[in-house]
Amino acid sequence: MSELRAVSFIAKTGFAWQVWKETLPDLHWFLEKNFQASKVNIKLTGEEKNFVVELECPNDSVPRLEKSFKDGTLGTEIDKIHGMDPAFSCGKKDAKLSRFCTTMAEARPQNAADHTIEALEQQIVQLELLERARSIDLKMVMENLLSFQTEFQKKFEALDKKVGEMSNRLDQKAERLSATLQRFKK
């Protein structure tokens, strides 16, 4: 196994942190499949729509990753992961990548356990934790949606009641006006 390098770049995008957080497993899968990335992290920056993407990949994958970064295919793939199909976006890209940086990866012990069942079990546990965090986020969104729907329904019912009352008052006024007109006609 070749030595690992830590690669980082900045992604400027119109998508919010939540979208990046939800699509992190897809991004990790893409980088692992194409560049043998072993570790992928996304970090917030001082600006709302800028994120730092950090990954570790073997030395021999760094030139391919840098080429993909420079020719724009990495940005296009990130857009696809976020649901933007280049065929439908008229060639416009959302993810603008900059500041490609390569350093030595953090030191970690290499042993035979990296390729064993224990390593796979650890990855499964990490994925389950991510799934649990995502389900908690989804539960919060659903609770907010339910409270919004309840509030909207109450406002709609109150508005419907007011419209009904006004309609009744207008009907009564129309009846009185027609009765008054009938009296004057006689």
Comparing 26-40, 45-59, 96-110, the range with the smallest average pLDDT is 96-110
Taking a C-beta distance cutoff of 8 angstroms, is the pair 141, 18 a contact? no
Residue 42 confidence (pLDDT)? 77
Rounded distance between C-alpha atoms, residue 111 and residue 161, angstroms: 72
pLDDT tens column, 37-86: 777 777 777 777 777 888 888 888 788 878 877 877 777 777 677 666 66
Residue 156 confidence (pLDDT)? 93
**Which two structure tokens, joined as six digits, stand for 129?**
């934790």
Whose tokens are 């840098």? That residue is 66
Taking a C-beta distance cutoff of 8 angstroms, is the pair 54, 40 a contact? yes
User: How much is the CA Rg of the chain, to the nearest whole Å?
Assistant: 29
Rounded distance between C-alpha atoms, residue 155 and residue 183, angstroms: 42
Label residues 83-118 b or e (16+ Cβ within 10 Å = b). Answer: ebeeeeeeeeebbebeeeebeebeeeeeeeeeeeee
Residue of 23, 24, 100, 20 lying closest to 68 (CA atoms): 100
**From start to end of 75-182, where are the E strands?**
96-104
At residue 128 the predicted structure's pLDDT band, cuts being 50, 70 and 90, is: confident
Q: Judge whether residue 113 has pLDDT over 60.
A: no
pLDDT tens column, 153-166: 999 999 999 999 99
Helix (H, G, I), strand (E, B), or coil: what is residue 42? Answer: strand
Comparing 13-27, 68-82, 92-106, 137-151, the range with the smallest average pLDDT is 92-106
Q: Judge whether residue 1 has pLDDT over 50.
A: no
Mean pLDDT throughout 15-27?
74
Task: Return mean pLDDT, the chain.
Answer: 78
Residue 25 confidence (pLDDT)? 78
